[in-house]
């Protein structure tokens, strides 16, 4: 098998079990991975528009809107005023910040655990390779 095939095959074999485990961790808070990815992004950037989220996550705006609306119903996210009345921004609510802090701790522990035995140098190398591949995908117009 060609090395590029092996690489992407391993990626697929890693991705599904990883997301399944994350969903088990998130389930206690009535969340799933797509919702967590938005909360994680909001934790880093504080407030964003739905368009910014859509572009960053490479997800269509209607899907982002539905996911954000579910987070609003859970009271994890709230809308705030933008620069003008047309711009809708969202941010983590106080409850969302609290849940995000708890989940961040649990997910950090999980991620550290599954990386046991893999040197920081190897991790950095894989991160660099993944970043290069992502850049190539983006250049292609995805």
Mean pLDDT of the chain: 92
Q: Is the model more confident about 126 or about 1?
A: 126
pLDDT of 84 strictly over 80: no
HEC profile for 68-87?
HHHHHHCCCEEEEECCCCCC
| Band of pLDDT at residue 138, cut at 50, 70 and 90 | confident
Q: What is the pTM of this model?
A: 0.86
Task: Specify which residues 91 forms β-bridges with.
Answer: 47, 78
Give the number of C-alpha atoms closer than 13 A to the C-alpha of residue 80, restricted to the C-beta side. 13
Residue 41: its H or E element: helix 33-45
Check: CB of residue 28 under 8 Å from CB of residue 50: no
pLDDT tens readout for residues 88-103: 899 999 999 999 999 9
pLDDT of residue 141: 75
**Residue 88: helix, strand or coil by DSSP?**
strand
In order of their start, the domains of the chain are 3-108 (1.10.10.10)
HEC profile for 117-131?
CCCHHHHHHHHHHHH
**Residue 59: helix, strand or coil by DSSP?**
coil
Backbone angles phi, psi at 80, to 5 degrees: -130, 165
pLDDT tens readout for residues 36-56: 999 999 999 989 999 999 988
Angle at 23 between CA 62 and CA 103, to 5 degrees: 95
pLDDT of residue 98: 97
Angle at 109 between CA 8 and CA 133, to 5 degrees: 25
Check: CB of residue 89 under 8 Å from CB of residue 81: yes
């Amino acid at each position: 098998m060609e090395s590029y095939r092996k690489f992407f095959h391993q990626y697929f074999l890693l991705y599904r079990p990883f997301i399944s485990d994350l969903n088990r961790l998130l389930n206690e808070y009535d969340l799933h991975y797509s919702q967590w990815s938005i909360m994680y992004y909001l934790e880093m950037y504080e407030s964003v528009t739905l368009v910014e989220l859509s572009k960053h996550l490479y997800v269509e705006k209607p899907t982002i809107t539905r996911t954000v609306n579910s987070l609003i119903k859970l009271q994890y996210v709230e809308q705030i005023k933008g620069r003008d009345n047309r711009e809708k921004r969202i941010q983590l609510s106080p409850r969302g910040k609290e849940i995000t802090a708890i989940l961040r701790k649990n997910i950090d522990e999980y991620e550290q655990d599954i990386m046991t035995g893999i040197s920081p140098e190897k991790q950095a190398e894989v991160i660099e390779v993944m970043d290069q591949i992502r850049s190539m995908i983006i250049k292609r117009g995805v």
